[in-house]
Chains A and B, each alone.
Chain A
């Protein structure tokens, strides 16, 4: 497989490259002229599209990395190996996006290195900051293991292989902590965030949803990759993952209901306000519907069924984050916020860069499972790798 680096350019990829180019220009303008000149942010809406969508959702969507790592490398459920590397890759790229949007968003970006030296450990943001930095490093190292399969530097590869187990564990503990602390960020908004979303256990909701989002994200990504590269999707792996997602969704729903009841705000969900409607949509369309789709074998075992349900789950988590950042804060913040064209362009550019990076890596590194082994292994449902039988 040792060929020269390849990256075939198609019109679609030219478009992506163009979008990245525009975003870079806008980003430079933002760094030079400041946030006020480029964004629609204000004292009432200090956090907008970049924090709300790119950072919070980028990181949530990267949940595939740590949930798959847990299932495959810690619980050793090896039938899920075919998707492990792709999950790691998307997760890594998701984090890079989060870091870039963070850099874009901080007003005094020339001070971005300061938090490493002045420790405000009583701040939730401190935890978020350290976990993101460390975990990105861990993921780069984990990816190094794959990188050196292609770029052969013997000693480095050996060192990395030895470090893999502790790295993997660190690579689960860190995201667990900070997925939850992304939620804890909003504990501070006592009396500001709508009680339908504000809760002392919002950290639990965040980490739990990031976890169940993982398998769904892997499903979507795998299906799209299979389609793009004209391969056979690992439908069987996907539909067996749905058990994990479904159970977690059910737990999520139950805890949510108990929490609302406990805080005595249950009735707020039905008072007909904009917030209550958004909440009902979130719960019904993006939690209950996927639970039923996953529960019914006739849907779960088909490619479109598992794909659609997974899309609902992923969109649902994004929807939930948007509700926390925007819907739930609207009433107390007052004023209004809609991202400016420049904010959209940077966001668009970042996600285009993500797509390009993914394509490049997948086409140059061993990420996806070899076709011939996979065909046989998956259709028999017993083994996925050559010569070794693996129990489920």
Chain B
């Protein structure tokens, strides 16, 4: 019963009610914005803005379109952040939310190494750089609302246009394909269905995903469809064998090459150098 949200980019009007709702529900402080002339400058999520709506100006032939894209943690099915954290501070809940335990469940083991930030393919987790003992912060899928009160996430409730739809991931996926197949304007792809092993948040759009800031290629190749933990696990699983095997090889070598008269009497060959002139020492 993993939940998800379907984001239909073609319906979004960029009102940013979702951002406000997120701040209100999660008690996040307001941050100062700066005026720029650059309307389509994409903003990033940070420790106090768990969701942002980005404006994109899209030119198709002689047509110009505005598209608005809400971004937040994608709540991956097999999250890189969870697998990277060596203190178990992230967890994928059975409801589908990926939460950070230190602030969510008061299990304060996080050491602040920020490996989770290095690992996330979407660059989502943020650090409270202004705190002396900072926490990692990111969208938590309104886990408290979802779990205890059976409510939709705050942003979904606030959205006036039906851009955001909350439900079972499987059903949302079906609906997404229905919408795509019944309307030729849509790009034939659900972003989040397969990317990095699949995510709980799914996007459909009538303009190409890479033009609205959703990563479809990296260094000229399509982004991975395997989950990130599956890569690391492929390497990590060898650790015990290497440990035992290499240890055994070394022990064998040690005995094999050992000389019979070998005793640990090397003491006489070394000396401290304090007796020697240090004239060249500078």
- Report A's interface with B, CB cutoff 8 A: 1, 3, 6, 8, 10-12, 32-37, 41-44, 46-47, 70, 73-76, 81-82, 85, 105-112, 114-115, 118-120, 122-127, 129, 149-150, 161, 164-165, 168-170, 172-173, 176-177, 180-181, 184-185, 187-192, 194-195, 200, 203, 227-231, 265, 268, 331-333, 362-371, 373, 384-386, 388
Contact B232 A188 (CB under 8 A): yes
In-complex Cβ contact of B269 among A35, A112, A373 (8 A): A373
Residues from chain B with a CB closer than 8 A to the CB of A229 are 273, 276, 278, 280-281
Contact A125 B115 (CB under 8 A): yes
Instruction: Report the separation of the CA atoms of residues A127 and B240 in the bound assembly, to the nearest whole angstrom.
Output: 11
B119 at the interface (CB under 8 A from A): yes
Instruction: Report the separation of the CA atoms of residues A85 and B269 in the bound assembly, to the nearest whole angstrom.
Output: 11
Residues from chain A with a CB closer than 8 A to the CB of B224 are 190-191
Bitwise interface map of B from 125 to 167 toward A, beta carbon under 8 Å scored 1, else 0:
1111111111100000000000000000000000000000000
Interface of B is mostly: loop
Interface of A is mostly: helix
Contact B267 A149 (CB under 8 A): yes
* Residue in A35, A47, A177, A180 whose Cβ sees the most chain B Cβ within 10 Å: A35
Q: What's the nearest-Cβ distance from chain A to residue B260, in Å?
A: 11
Interface residue stretch chosen among B7-15, B204-212, B246-254: B246-254
Q: List 29 A-B contacts (CB under 8 A).
A: A1-B272, A1-B275, A36-B131, A47-B114, A74-B254, A82-B269, A109-B111, A111-B87, A112-B111, A114-B87, A126-B86, A127-B239, A149-B267, A150-B272, A169-B251, A170-B247, A177-B243, A188-B232, A190-B121, A190-B224, A191-B218, A200-B235, A228-B278, A363-B272, A366-B267, A366-B270, A369-B269, A371-B271, A385-B268
Interface residue stretch chosen among B24-32, B77-85, B174-182: B77-85
Given contacts A231-B276, A386-B269, contact A173 B111 (CB under 8 A): no
B259 at the interface (CB under 8 A from A): yes
Instruction: Report the separation of the CA atoms of residues A189 and B281 in the bound assembly, to the nearest whole angstrom.
Output: 45
Instruction: Report the separation of the CA atoms of residues A185 and B232 in the bound assembly, to the nearest whole angstrom.
Output: 8
Considering the complex of A and B, which 7 residue pairs feature the smallest CB-CB distances, nearest first?
A107-B112, A36-B129, A366-B270, A191-B218, A34-B132, A108-B112, A123-B86
- 8 additional A-B residue pairs with CB within 8 Å, beyond A1-B275, A34-B133: A32-B132, A76-B254, A169-B254, A195-B221, A228-B281, A366-B272, A367-B273, A369-B270
In-complex Cβ contact of A365 among B88, B247, B250, B272 (8 A): B272
Instruction: Report the separation of the CA atoms of residues A333 and B109 in the bound assembly, to the nearest whole angstrom.
Output: 27
Contact B250 A173 (CB under 8 A): yes
Contact B118 A188 (CB under 8 A): yes
Contact B131 A6 (CB under 8 A): no
Instruction: Report the separation of the CA atoms of residues A6 and B109 in the bound assembly, to the nearest whole angstrom.
Output: 44
Contact A76 B258 (CB under 8 A): yes
Contact B219 A190 (CB under 8 A): no
Smallest CB-CB separation from B227: which chain A residue? A190
Instruction: Report the separation of the CA atoms of residues A180 and B270 in the bound assembly, to the nearest whole angstrom.
Output: 33
In-complex Cβ contact of A165 among B126, B254, B274 (8 A): B254
Instruction: Report the separation of the CA atoms of residues A172 and B243 in the bound assembly, to the nearest whole angstrom.
Output: 10
Contact B236 A124 (CB under 8 A): yes
Q: What's the nearest-Cβ distance from chain A to residue B85, in Å?
A: 6
Residues from chain A with a CB closer than 8 A to the CB of B127 are 35-36, 41, 43, 46, 107
> How many residues on the B side are at the interface (Cβ–Cβ under 8 A)?
81
Given contacts A12-B281, A118-B87, A120-B87, contact A173 B247 (CB under 8 A): yes
Smallest CB-CB separation from A122: which chain B residue? B83
B110 at the interface (CB under 8 A from A): yes
Instruction: Report the separation of the CA atoms of residues A11 and B281 in the bound assembly, to the nearest whole angstrom.
Output: 10
Q: What's the nearest-Cβ distance from chain A to residue B262, in Å?
A: 7
Residues from chain B with a CB closer than 8 A to the CB of A161 are 264
Contact B236 A188 (CB under 8 A): no
Smallest CB-CB separation from A189: which chain B residue? B118
Contact B282 A10 (CB under 8 A): yes
Contact B85 A173 (CB under 8 A): no
Q: What's the nearest-Cβ distance from chain B to residue A111, in Å?
A: 5
From residue 73 to 129 of chain B, which have CB atoms closer than 8 A to chain A?
80, 83-89, 108-115, 117-119, 121, 123, 125-129
Residues from chain B with a CB closer than 8 A to the CB of A47 are 114, 118
Contact B134 A172 (CB under 8 A): no
